[in-house]
Amino acid sequence: MTGGFVGAARPRGPLAEGDRVLLIDRKDRRYLVRLVAGGSFQSHAGVIDHDELIGSDDGGEFVARQRDGRSGPARRFLVLRPTLSDLVVKMPRGAQVIYPKDLGAILMAADIHPGVRVLEAGVGSGALSMTLLGAGAHVVGYELRADFAARARANVADLLGSETSYRVEERDIYDGIEETGVERVLLDLPEPWRVVPHAETALVPGGILLAYLPTINQTAELRQRLDSSGFALAETFEILRRTWHIEGRSVRPDHRMVAHTGFITTARRVSSRWHEPLEGDEPTPESDEPSVDDRPLTESG
C-alpha cells in the first residue's frame, strides 16, 4: 500500500455546473440536485432554473416560479452545497450505510489522519470510504459484491472526483488480506472475528483494528476472539445522539431518536499475548476501573 498522498478536493466558491446542491424549502424538505446548464428543478412548489443558481453563492435564497402560469404563494428555497452527512443519507445505496454520528466517532476511534494506510471491508455503498478519504486516508477496500463495489466507487468519485487514493477490490476478506504494512483495518461485515488472524499479519505494530457491528452477540464473539490474539486494549462503545427541540421557551429533548445503530469495537496490534497472564503479574483490574476516558495520562521524560 504505497503512493503519494493526493488530497481529495471538494467544490468550493460560487456554485458551478456539475456541483450537487440541496434545495431546502420552508418545511425543511430537502432535494438533492446536480446543476446542469439549461436544466431546471421542478417540484410541487414550482420551478427553479439551474442557470439562476450557477454562479451564485452557496447559501443563497431563491423563489420558485409557478409552472405554466399557475398562481399561488411564492415558495422560497435555500440553496446549499450538501455536507458529507447530507450526502451519506441521500446518496444512492445498495447496502445499509453507517450513519454520520458513528462515522464521526470512527474517525477518532481509529485515529484516521492524512496519509494513514487503511484496509476497509466490506465497502458497501462507500459511506465510510468517503469519510476516510475526506480525512486524508489512503484506502484499499475489499467488497464481496461487484455491484456494491461499483456503487462505492461511483459515490466516492461523485464526492471527491477521481484523484483520490482509493482502490476497491472484489474479494472476500475472510480468505485473507494481501496488503502488508497496513495501519488500520476497518470492518463493517457480519463476522469480523474471522478477519482477526489476517489483520494480525497485515497490520503494522501498534496498528488499529476497528469493527462496526449491529448486535452485541456479534460484538461479544469478536471480543472473545480478540482476547486470544495479538491485539490488546480492546474497547467497545456505542454513540447515542439525542437532538433537542428548541423553540422559544419550549426547550426539551426531541421525542424521537435513533436509539441504536451499531457497536464500535477497537483494538491495538501489539507484539505479545498481552491478555495472557504470566506468573508474577500484578492482578488484573476489576470491572469498576475508570473508563479509558477518565484515566489520567501520565507523561514522563
Nearer to ligand SAM by Cβ, of 43 and 261: the residue is 261
CB nearer ligand SAM, residue 87 or residue 226:
87
| Contacting range for ligand SAM; rule: CB under 6 A; set: 121-129, 238-246, 279-287, 288-296 | 121-129
Give the interface size with ligand SAM as a residue count (CB under 6 A).
Answer: 21
Position among 122, 192, 207, 262 found at the interface with ligand SAM (CB under 6 A): 122
- Sites for ligand SAM among residues 186-215 (CB under 6 A): 188-189
**Cα angle at 205 between 200 and 107, to 5 degrees?**
85
**Could you say which of 21, 22, 33, 95 contacts ligand SAM (CB under 6 A)?**
95
Q: Shortest distance, CB of residue 288 to ligand SAM, whole angstroms?
A: 35
Residues 6+ apart with CB under 8 A from 90: 30, 32, 82
* Residue 274 three-state SS: coil
Residue nearest to ligand SAM (CB): 122
DSSP 3-state assignment of 251? strand
| Packing angle, helices 100-109 and 127-134, rounded to 10 | 50
Phi, psi angle pair for 229, to nearest 5°? -135, -175
CA distance 203 to 259: 33
> How long a stretch of residues is the chain?
301
Binding mask 146-165 for ligand SAM (x = CB under 6 A): --x-----------------
Q: Does 128 bind ligand SAM (CB under 6 A)?
A: yes
Of 35 and 128, CB closest to ligand SAM: 128
Give the burial class of 199: count Cβ atoms within 10 A of its Cβ; 0-12 exposed, 13-18 middle, 19 or more buried.
buried
The angle formed by the CA atoms of residues 80, 11 and 97, to the nearest 5 degrees, is 75
Among residues 15, 21, 48, 127, the one that binds ligand SAM under rule CB under 6 A = 127
Chain residues binding ligand SAM by CB under 6 A are 95-98, 121-122, 124-128, 142-145, 148, 172-174, 188-189
